Amino acid sequence: MVSYKDLGFVNTRKMFEVAMKNGFAVPAYNFNNMEQLQAIVTACLESQSPVILQVSKGAREYADQTLLRYMGQGAIEMMKRMAKEKGLGEIPIALHLDHGGDFEICKSCIDSGFSSVMIDGSHLSYEENVELTRKVVEYAHKYDVTVEGELGVLAGVEDDVKAEHHTYTKPEEVEDFLKKTGVDSLAIAIGTSHGAYKFKPGQKPEIRLDILHEIEKRIPGFPIVLHGSSSVPQDAVETINKYGGKLKDSIGIPEDQLREAARSAVCKINIDSDGRLVMTAKIREIFATKPEEFDPRKYLGPAREALKQMYIAKNKNVLGSAGQAPAIMALLK
């Protein structure tokens, strides 16, 4: 058993407390490799934003679960060194399991030093979802690990998470779910979706903020989470297509709607596909314009820089988390 506290991570309680008070959302960025992790940590340090490093089931299988945990621990040390070198304050970092599908994977992550886990029982019946979520909460809270549950189903595909249709969260269920499970935050389905194809051609890109506001009324002051919240930057899509890609009708969530959600009870916003698109765009551009290049550092380095700049922009303009790290760090002392 490894405690997340010994590794330097924090859980999400104080993050969400400050987010609720100050009207922003903590960025939850997925990583699968070193360059993504470097970009996330550097961007959040430079913009003084808290951050939740997310590891999916697919990432654990791709990069090896033990390696990812040590990469996360290394990110803490990198952050501290860079903060000292740049004269910046340290930032709070949580290590979070994204879309845990069963009790065993959640337990494995808790035991190996994760500070937060998501148990996704949204594909089950309501009663089974409650039972599974409560079981994870009971185990996690023994070690002060925070737990995210989910009500409703997001359409789309991302790693092993797949669904053809939305099932919007029912506001009338949320109070009962929280009471019976004891979760620390709740992911809801209001029209966001996984992947780069969130809306059909001709369909107005719009999420159900009315459902969000109704849920807020029923559970005031409780942290809400939005999954599948990439905006699918069209400049990245255009670059990918220009240099041989075939992304047709890729449409994301409008950033102004995400900003409105972040000003309310939405304390955590998950963004993964945007990072994949930005990295792929830069790598395709280099392969096409510099065909003689074969050093991975010469294309992964620029891709990492492009990713860093995107995350800084997200923190400042979409989530509102830039500059919020000091307030959280003060509460953690």
Write the CB contacts of 315 (distance below 8 Å, at least 6 apart in sequence): 27, 43, 44, 47, 49, 321, 322
For the chain, the domains span 4-332
Q: Which residues are catalytic?
A: 98
Query: Cα–Cα distance between 150 and 84 in angstroms, integer?
Result: 38
pLDDT at 18 over 80: yes
Query: Cα–Cα distance between 3 and 38 in angstroms, integer?
Result: 23
pLDDT tens digits, one per residue of 19-45? 999 999 999 999 999 999 999 999 999
Q: What pairs with residue 52 in β-bridges? A: 28, 94
pLDDT value, residue 67 = 85
pLDDT value, residue 61 = 86
pLDDT tens digits, one per residue of 77-109? 999 999 999 999 999 999 999 999 999 999 999
pLDDT at 187 over 80: yes
pLDDT value, residue 194 = 58
Are 306 and 278 in contact by the 8 Å Cβ rule? The answer is: yes
Packing angle, helices 34-46 and 65-86, rounded to 10: 30
pLDDT value, residue 157 = 43
pLDDT category at 164 given cuts 50, 70, 90 is very low
Q: What pairs with residue 116 in β-bridges? A: 96, 146
3-state helix, strand, coil in the chain (%, to 5): 50, 15, 35
Query: Cα–Cα distance between 319 and 229 in angstroms, integer?
Result: 11
Q: What is the DSSP letter of 318?
A: I
Q: Is 300 helix (H, G, I), strand (E, B) or coil?
A: helix
Nearest to 203 by CA among 249, 167, 172: 249
pLDDT tens digits, one per residue of 303-328? 999 999 999 999 999 999 999 999 99
At the top level of CATH, which class does the domain 4-332 belong to? alpha beta
What is the CB-side half-sphere exposure of residue 169 using CA atoms within 13 A? 34
Give the residue, 228 or 246, on which the prediction is more confident.
Answer: 246
Are 114 and 97 in contact by the 8 Å Cβ rule? The answer is: yes
Write the CB contacts of 220 (distance below 8 Å, at least 6 apart in sequence): 265
Strands, E, within the chain: which ranges? 26-30, 51-56, 93-100, 116-119, 146-151, 156-158, 161-163, 185-188, 224-226, 266-271
In the numeric block, which tokens belong to residue 249? 């009708």
Across all residues in the chain, what is the average pLDDT?
Answer: 91
